[in-house]
Every structure is written in C-alpha cells, then in structure tokens.
A and B are shown apart, each in its own frame.
Chain A
Amino acid sequence: MPTTAVPACALIYKFTGKERDSESGLDNFGARYYGSSMGRFVQPDPLYIEARRLADPQRLNLYAYARNNPTTLTDPFGLDVALKCDTKENCAKAVQDFNNRKGAQFKVELGNDGKLHVVKGSVGKDLSKAESALMGAINDTKNHATINVSGNTGQSEFGTHDSKGVNSVDLGNLSRLDAAGNAGGLNSGDALAHEAMDAYYSLSMGEEAADEAAAGLFPGLYGPTGNQNILNPTHTAVVGSTFNQAITNGIGTEHITIQYITPIPAIDLFGKSAAGRSEVAHDAGSRTTDVTFVPPKKE
C-alpha cells in the first residue's frame, strides 16, 4: 500500500488549526500562546476586566481555554474589530492610519476575514492602558465591532457612532488631521482608535458612556464654539463654516473648517429650529477642508 506523504507545512497546524511554534511548542492564538501539553494559555486573557465574567466561574480563570469546555466551544482568531471598506485601497489606508496612532505599542494588519489582527512580534512591553484596551477589543472573540470605512461619506464628521457595535470613519476628513497645520493635535490613527473603542464599548453600554470610555483612552472632540459662517460673494448663501472643538484630554483645540457641497441659502438657515437646521446641514452635504491645532492659552 503506497504511503501518502503529508506536506511538512501541515504538521505545524495543530488544535483548531493554530500554528505551533517549533521552539517553544506553544500554539499561536494571535493574542496569546496556548500550551497544549498543559491545556492552558500561557498568558492571561487580555479581557480580564470584563464585569460579566464575574457571573461565570469558569471565566474567572484567565488562563483557561474556552471555559474549560474545548469539545463544545472554540476560541478562534477572534480578532474582532472588523473593517468594512468601500474600496480595498481604503482598507489599506485605514490600517496604515491605524498604525500611526500616537503611543502605538503594537501594529495591526487586515486579515482575509476582514478583521484586524495584531501583527506577530510587533507588541511592545508594558502596554499602556489605552493600548491594552485596544488590543483587548481586537482580540475579543465574543464581541464583534465593525468600522465602516469610506473615502467620502458626503458629511464633514471624522467619525460617528452608527448603531450598537458599528461606527463609521471618513478617510477624506481624517486625512486633514494629518496635515502639517494640525501637528500636536489628534491624528487620523487616534481618531480611528477612538471610533474602534467606541464601537466596541457600545456593545455593552449606552452611547454616552461608550463615547466617554473611548475618549478616556483615545481622545475625541466636544463642545463646538466660535462658529463663523462663510458666505458666498453675494452674501446670500452659506458655503461653509469654521468652529473650534476642544480635545477631550485638554491638550488643546481643533479649529475646523468645513465646506458645504450645496450652498445653503441664508434664508433657509436663520429662523429654523434646531431640528430644521440639522436637516438642512445634513442635506447640503459637507466636507472638512482644514484642521488646525490650537494649543491651550497659557494662563
């Protein structure tokens, strides 16, 4: 009977298809290594702070595999912050931006499954609170967050929360954050990380709490002030506006200029209710055209 040759590469893929490191004998589960001889992960689960684990004694052991129930449950790559992009190029750009976030201590890449993966060997030592939380979100196998990535949403927001677990970013607007005039302010990677954490937290808490929890790790913006309308040459239509928004960690303010795609007749703006103005602005469509970082005034 002829012997069937097994490809050498197949031998390194072990329990649930994970790659085994030939030197350590450990299986690579992306976020952590699994020691099959011990039946335990050799590092704790990054999601150690999840309150809901408290109700499940099997989940209190941070080194256990799949609640000590491997015959029923699996812990696949997980890596569950997914990017849903309008083009392949925009996905690549979003990953590039993501890796440029300030204080980055690990890099991500996009898997064929559309999910972010932590790049093997890129993880620094002593992760900051923000980086640790971000890695936890990316490696959470049970909660699925999605970032819709678009080159042009037709609106001037950098990033928004859409629904439970889903946020959107506009790369065209985000690129303005990386301009020289905004040096010292938020960059596109900070904004992407903020939206990723906001989407992730929104799975387990309300919008306000999720936004504030995300802003505690990766700053956001709040409280627009100092609005100025930009009028057309005949002064009959609003073609854009400028305003300031404070950065939530207090490092300064972003001075933002937006342009309306469809000029808004002045008569349609003033005197309308807040809901009416919001609708008019949304319908006009807008783009962020300039962002300048303004450091706080010295007292």
Chain B
Amino acid sequence: MRTVALIVAALVALSVAQKTPTRTGEKNVPLVGRVLADVSSLTFGAGLGPQHTTFVFAVEQNGGTRVEPVKVSYAFFKSEGPPPDSFFDYSKRYELQAVRDTKCDESVDSLSHVKNVDQSGKPLPPTDALRFLEGAPKDALKSDAILPCYVLRAGNYKVLSQDKQSKDTVDPKTGNLRLTIPIVASKLKQ
C-alpha cells in the first residue's frame, strides 16, 4: 500500500513538474487603479506565444492619496483578442492581477513615440503614440520617468467601481433626471 502511494506521489510530481510555467512562474500581484493612456502602436507579435498590446495604468497607493504610473503589457491569444474598447474608460476603477516583468520596463519618452523609417531604413519623424483617456490627468506622466512593467494576461482583471458620470442626463420622454449608478465589483470581461 505504501509503495503504491509512493508511486502515485512520484507520478503526480512528474506531472506537475512538466506543467510548471517556465516564464511567468512569478506570482500575480493585484494592481488597483485606472487606465491612464493607451499606447497606439501597431505591432502585436509574430506568434509562437501570446500577442501583446500596451497601456499605462495609474496604480493607487497610500489608500488612493497618490498614484504610481506603470506600463502594462496585455498578453492575449488570437481567440481572446486585445482588450475591448469599453476597457479604456478612465471612469472605471480596476483591479488587475498582473506579473512584474523587469525586462519590459520602459521610459515614458520611449512609450510616447513610435519610431518611423522609410523603406530604405532612413529615420523619419516619430509618431505620437500615447493616447490619454478622456478625463485622465495628462500631467501624471513625466517624460524621463522609467515605468515598471507588468504583464497582464487577457481577462485577468475586474472592475471594482465606476464613477458617476459628471453630467446626469434628462430623459427626453419623461423629463426625469437619469442618474448613473456606480457598478460595484462586476466582471468586465466581454
């Protein structure tokens, strides 16, 4: 009986060892805050792994009294796709479960511009690539700052809350004031 148990344990260990992730073995860390800006760059990857798209996230610190901007590399497979348009909404407060990856740290200046070259490889003026979300503070990023990078797997986030819209609307039929109710802890994945 004991021998059988040992064999079973060994087989389980072998199985687990084979399936242990090789690259992102690090633990997910929760990042609470808001999406600050999208990095409007075209390249997503050449396969043999997930594709990536990048955005800047303002992480709340000290109970929300200050924020630290970080770079988020959103990793997605073809079937999952990049984040939906509705994800890029500054009024939404998120919790991301992301993995720190020092290898993709990048300066704000570098993130802000996509280099352009002509077909002979000659450099051309760069294109502005940083697109601040509506309502996001544009002074939150200093161009010489190096942003720590986190890798976020597709769908590994949830909306904690959504701000009430700044302008409540009036229903044209009833004349009643239409209030926006904050969304609490709803899963955004679409």
Which A residues lie at the B interface, using CB under 8 A?
48-51, 53-54, 60, 133, 156-163, 173, 186, 191, 194-195, 201, 205, 207-209, 211-213, 215-216, 220-225, 227-233, 235, 238-243, 245-246, 248, 254, 256, 258, 264, 266, 269-278, 280-281, 288
Contact = CB atoms under 8 A, between A and B. Distances in A.
B18 to A, nearest CB: 6
Contact of A220 (B7, B42, B49, B53): B49
Contacts of B15: 49-51
B23 interface: yes
Contacts of A230: 116-119
- What is the predominant secondary structure among interface residues of chain B facing chain A? mixed
Interface of B: 7-8, 11-12, 14-15, 18-24, 38, 40-53, 55, 73-75, 77-85, 88, 101, 103-104, 106, 114-119, 124, 127-129, 131, 151, 153
Nearest to A243: B43
A54 B82 CA distance: 38
A278 B44 contact: yes
A10 to B, nearest CB: 41
B127 A161 contact: no
Given A228-B117, A281-B44, A275 B128 contact: no
Contacts of A281: 42-44
Given A51-B15, A209-B21, A270-B129, A191 B48 contact: yes
A212 B114 contact: no
Contacts of A248: 22-23, 49
B104 A241 contact: no
B22 A221 contact: no
A49 B14 CA distance: 6
A215 to B, nearest CB: 6
A28 to B, nearest CB: 27
Contacts of B74: 274
14 contacts: A157-B48, A186-B48, A222-B52, A229-B42, A229-B127, A231-B118, A233-B119, A238-B42, A243-B43, A248-B23, A274-B83, A275-B85, A277-B41, A281-B43
Given A209-B19, A270-B129, A271-B40, A228 B116 contact: yes
